[in-house]
Structure 1
Amino acid sequence: MPNYIRVDDRLIHGQIITKWAGYLSIKNIIVIDDKTANNPTLKSIMSMSVPKNYKTYICTLEGSGEILKNVDGQNNLIVIRYPILLKKIYEMGIKFEFVNIGNVSKKEGGEFEITHNIFLTKEDINIIEELHKKGVKIIFQLVPDTPSYTWEKERTKFFK
């Protein structure tokens, strides 16, 4: 069973719980975010929002390898805040074939708009392109019942 990756700067929120987890038949929700994992209050608030039928892990990048090893073979939704973590996770040897980018707020250097709620930096684009060339399927989609945009199509705006 696969690891699904969701890039969403809101991390766990209603759309993750009510839409994506059920749609993907998720068993585990794994948030990899150093800031949240190192803040007991944030970690507690985020964990409380998840129904008990999903096992929830909130960990640092460094601690994620051990957790992912323990849940290997299960349907996992890995949620990260920014595309730069995609490269780091991939380099750690965490296997994934599918990335959903759902919400990346505009930040400094995020001048490339994919949709009204997804803004990428040049570094983000290069990381996504690198993963695309390695066979990773990348889509941009808010929730399962909204239109999706594939990197295969969107990349033509950036690469000839």
Structure 2
Amino acid sequence: MITMMRVDDRLIHGQVAVMWSKELNVQRIVVASDQIASNEIQVSALKMAAPAGVKAAILPIDKAVGILNDPRADQMRILVISNNPEDLLRVAEKIKERPVLNVANYGRIGGSLSEKKVAESVYLTEHDEEVIQKIASLGVEIIHQPLPSDARQDFLKMMGGK
């Protein structure tokens, strides 16, 4: 089962590897990204960043969806991560589960001053907001919670929605 989806520019890093993997008691981390999966150096680095006892899979989106929809995945606890909301929209459109989406750290890397600051660690373009609304329309709860110890916030309200 998918315990959470997360948008995070940094993908697998300290917060994910140490805190979230323990909090969610995950056995697998799936990075779903065509772009990242095609870069051997990034794939290797991300696999090394995974905590002991947690297997990391860095996969193109269609392959990630196939694994997430496999009945054997129901017996696992899986965290799905991408560095952009569009990739996770593509995943959410094709999977049977509706896990919560945590928009935690996004838009600061390579961003521009024209982006909307939604939280200290989240900046969105108008396109990003549209994509997040589409994910919400699929029945996915969208939150902002950078760390497990942080209060869970309704991300749509933070964006100025309902």
- Normalising by the residue count of structure 2, what TM-score does the alignment of the two structures yield? 0.86
| Deviation >3 Å, runs of 4+ | none
d(CA) in 2 for partners of 1:14 and 1:50? Answer: 9
* Equivalent residue number for residue 4 of structure 2: 4
Say whether 1:129 aligns with 2:133: yes
Question: Structure 1 unaligned runs (5+)?
Answer: none
Determine which of 138, 145, 148 is the counterpart of 2:149. 145
Give how far 1:143 is off.
0.7
Kindly report which structure 2 residues correspond to 1:40-119, keeping only aligned pairs within 5 A, or say none: 40-70=40-70, 71-73=72-74, 74-106=76-108, 107-108=111-112, 111-119=115-123
Given that 2:3 and 2:24 are in contact with CA atoms closer than 8 Å, whether structure 1 keeps it comes out as no
d(CA) in 1 for partners of 2:114 and 2:64? Answer: 27
Q: Kindly, what percent of the aligned residue pairs are identical? A: 28
Count of aligned residue pairs for this structure pair: 158
d(CA) in 2 for partners of 1:127 and 1:17? Answer: 26
Give how far 1:119 is off.
0.5
RMSD: 2.1
- Normalising by the residue count of structure 1, what TM-score does the alignment of the two structures yield? 0.86
d(CA) in 1 for partners of 2:147 and 2:6? Answer: 11
The alpha-carbon distance between structure 1 residues 38 and 94, as it changes in their structure 2 partners (threshold 3 A), is farther
